[in-house]
Amino acid sequence: MSAPTIVSLPDPSTARIPKMNFLTRENGLLSWLLTGDHKRIATLYLISITFFFFIGGALAGLIRLELLTPQSDLMAADTYNKVFSMHGLIMVFLFLVPSVPATIGNFVIPMMVGAKDLALPKINLLSWYLYILAGGMMLYTMATGGVDTGWTFTTPLSTHYLNTNVVSAGLAVFVAGFSSIFTGLNFVVTIHKMRCPGMTWFRLPLFIWSNYAASILMILGTPVLAITLVLVVLERTVHIGVFDPAYGGDPLLFQHLFWFYSHPAVYIMILPGMGVISEVISTFSRKRVFGYTAVAFSSVAIAVFAFFVWAHHMFIMGISNYAALVFSLLTMMVAVPSAIKIFNWSFTLYKGSITFETPMLYAIGFMGLFTIGGMTGVFLGSTGTDIHLTETYFVVAHFHFVMVGGMLMAFLSGIHFWWPKWTGRMYPEKISQLAALVTFIGFNLTFFPQFILGTLGMPRRYAAYPPEFQVLNVFSTAGATVLGVGYLLPILYLTWSLKYGAIAGNNPWQATGLEWQTQSPPLTENFVEIPIMDHEAYDYEWLEQQQRKEVASVG
C-alpha cells in the first residue's frame, strides 16, 4: 500500500546537491562565526536552541521523575525549585521565544519576501551572539547553584528572600531579551523595506504576517521586561527599590510591568507557529488558505489585543474589581482571532487534495491541541473560574498545551517542512511519521491528566503533594517518557538524513513560496536574480503553469 503523496523528487540517479550553496561557499569555523548570511545564522540558531531545548527537556524529565511519588524523595525541595525555575527560564527565554522566528523565520523570511538577506545582517549576527551570551549566563547560573524564583521572578521573593543567583539569571534574561528585540526589529525592517518587486502586502505568505505581528510584540514588549529586571537586580543589590513593600515599594507594580511583557510574550511564542501551520496546511492540501485576509488580520489583531490583557494574570492578586472586569473582557476579545484561525485552517482542507506527510501530521496535531489550549485559556480569562483554576496544574496544562502542543508541534512541523530546503535532503518519511504520532500520544498522556489535577486543586510548583494526586501524576510521568522518545527520534533521523537522505531538489513539496523557487540548499544570496512576484500567495495554478512551461522548454 502506498499513501498518495505530493513529494516529487528529482531522479535519484542523476540528482546532485548543487555544488555552490550557502553551506559550502566558505569553509572554516570563522566563516560561520563572522557570517552575515541569514541562512547560516539561522543554522547557528538551530543548533544552539536545540542544545538548550534538550537541557530544558532534561530538567523537565527531572521534574516529572520527582513528581512520580508524593514525597519529595528524588531531590530536596530546594533542588526541585531550582530545577523547575531553570526549566521555565531556559524553555521560555532560550527556546520558545527564539524557536520559530530566529531559526525558521531567519531562514525563510528573506527568501519569502524575495530579498538577498535580512535588512541588517550584522545586527542579526549580534542577535545570535547576545543569545549565546544569555545562554552562557544561564548555564553559569545553573552551574553555580541555580536560581529558584520560578521564571516569573516574583517580588519580593526574588529581591529579598532568596539567596540564589537571581542577579545572573535576571541579567541573562535581559540579554536574551535584547537578542529577541534585534531579531524582531530586523524582521519588521525587512518585511517593510526589502520586499521584491510585485510583492504587495497581500501577496505575502501568511508566515510573514504572523512573524511580523510577533516582531512588533518583541519590539514593544521586551524592553519593559528588560527595565523591570534591571529594577529587580538593582533592588537586590542596593536594597532599596520600588517592588518590595518593606522598602515602601509595591509588589503589584512588578506584576504589572512583568506581565506587560510576559503576556504578549506568549503571543510572541505562538504567532510564528501559527504562521508555519498556515504554510503547511496550504501546501499539503494544495489550496489557498481559506480567507487569507481574515487569517492575516487575525495575526495583527492578536498582536494589538495582546497588549491590553496582561492583568488577567493578577485577578486574584487584589487588583481593582473594575480593572479585573476590563482586562477579562479584553481577554475574551483576544480569544476570537485564534478561533478564526482554527476554523479557517479547517476550511482550507475543504475541497483540497490532501496528503499526510510529516509536516501535515504535526500541523493537524497542532490544530487539535491548540484548540484545547486556547479554550482552556478562556477558563482562565473568565474572572470567576480563574479564582479556582489559577496557580494550579490547570494553568500548567493550559500553557503547555499552547506552548508545547502548539508551538513545539508547529516548530517540528516547520523543521520537517523546510528541512529539504535547508539541507537539500529529505528526512526519512516513515519514521518521522511515527515520531509525530508518538509525540502526539505522549503529549496528551503527559498534559491531559494535569487539567484534572488542576481542577482537583493541585497547586503548581509543588515538590511534594498529597497522595490523592498520585495516580494522575504517574500517568503524566509515563506520558513524559513517551514524549521524550518522540523528541529524541527527530534529532536522530534528521542527523542521519544530513548524509543519507534522498536528494530533495528545488521544490519537493510543490509549494508556492518564493523560497521553493530557488535551489536547495539556496545560494548565499538566495536568488540568482531578484524574483518578481506576479501572482498571489498560494497560487497553485501559477505553479503548475510554471512547471508546464519548464517541461515544454526542456522537451
Q: How far is CA 146 from CA 159, 174, 225, 427, 520, in A?
A: 15, 17, 21, 38, 43
Site string for other proteins, 37-76 (x = CB under 8 A): -----------------------------------x----
Q: Is 462 helix (H, G, I), strand (E, B) or coil?
A: coil
Q: Nearest 5 degrees, angle CA 545-CA 549-CA 554?
A: 150
> For other proteins, which residue of 41, 108, 266, 386 counts as binding (CB under 8 A)?
386
> For other proteins, which residue of 34, 47, 227, 532 counts as binding (CB under 8 A)?
227
Q: 456-475: which residues touch other proteins (CB under 8 A)? A: 456-457, 459-468, 470-471, 474
With cell 528541512, the residue in question is: 419
User: What is the rounded CA–CA span in Å between residue 15 and residue 411?
Assistant: 29
Give the interface segment with other proteins, choosing from 137-145, 182-190, 502-510, 545-553 (CB under 8 A): 182-190
Q: 337-366: which residues touch other proteins (CB under 8 A)? A: 339-340, 342-344, 346-347, 349-356, 364
User: Which is closer to other proteins, CB of 34 or CB of 471?
Assistant: 471
User: Which is closer to other proteins, CB of 259 or CB of 419?
Assistant: 259
260 binds other proteins (CB under 8 A): yes
Q: Report in angstroms how near the CB of residue 119 gets to other proteins at its nearest.
A: 4
CB environment 60-81: b (16+ within 10 A), e (fewer): bbbbbebbebeebebbeeebbb
User: Which is closer to other proteins, CB of 90 or CB of 232?
Assistant: 232
> CB 85: neighbour CB atoms within 10 A?
25
34 binds other proteins (CB under 8 A): no
Number of residues that bind other proteins (CB under 8 A): 150
Please state the φ and ψ torsions of residue 198, each to the nearest 5 degrees.
90, -10
CB 339 within 8 A of CB 374: yes
User: Which is closer to other proteins, CB of 4 or CB of 28?
Assistant: 4
Give the interface segment with other proteins, choosing from 18-26, 133-141, 246-254, 511-519 (CB under 8 A): 246-254
Which three cell numbers, joined as nine digits, stand for 329?
473582557
User: What is the rounded CA–CA span in Å between residue 434 and residue 144?
Assistant: 40
Q: 130-169: which residues touch other proteins (CB under 8 A)? A: 148, 150, 152, 154, 156-157, 160-162
Q: Is 523 helix (H, G, I), strand (E, B) or coil?
A: strand
Q: Residue 392 has what DSSP assignment?
A: B
Q: Report in angstroms how near the CB of residue 494 gets to other proteins at its nearest.
A: 25
Q: Report in angstroms how near the CB of residue 518 gets to other proteins at its nearest.
A: 15
Q: Nearest 5 degrees, angle CA 424-CA 427-CA 431?
A: 175
Please state the φ and ψ torsions of residue 243, each to the nearest 5 degrees.
-110, -25
User: What is the rounded CA–CA span in Å between residue 9 and residue 2?
Assistant: 16
User: Which is closer to other proteins, CB of 339 or CB of 431?
Assistant: 339
CB 427 within 8 A of CB 501: yes
Q: Compute the chain's Rg from CA coordinates.
A: 23
498 binds other proteins (CB under 8 A): no
> CB 239: neighbour CB atoms within 10 A?
12
> For other proteins, which residue of 220, 434, 523, 533 counts as binding (CB under 8 A)?
220
> For other proteins, which residue of 7, 75, 388, 437 counts as binding (CB under 8 A)?
388
Give the interface segment with other proteins, choosing from 56-64, 284-292, 425-433, 507-515 (CB under 8 A): 284-292
User: Which is closer to other proteins, CB of 193 or CB of 548?
Assistant: 193
CB 281 within 8 A of CB 348: yes
Give the interface segment with other proteins, choosing from 52-60, 126-134, 397-405, 449-457 (CB under 8 A): 449-457
234 binds other proteins (CB under 8 A): yes
Q: For residue 352, how many C-alpha atoms fall within 13 Å in the half-sphere facing its CB?
A: 22
User: Which is closer to other proteins, CB of 239 or CB of 549?
Assistant: 239
Q: Report in angstroms how near the CB of residue 23 gets to other proteins at its nearest.
A: 18
Q: Report in angstroms how near the CB of residue 486 gets to other proteins at its nearest.
A: 21
> CB 144: neighbour CB atoms within 10 A?
11
384 binds other proteins (CB under 8 A): yes
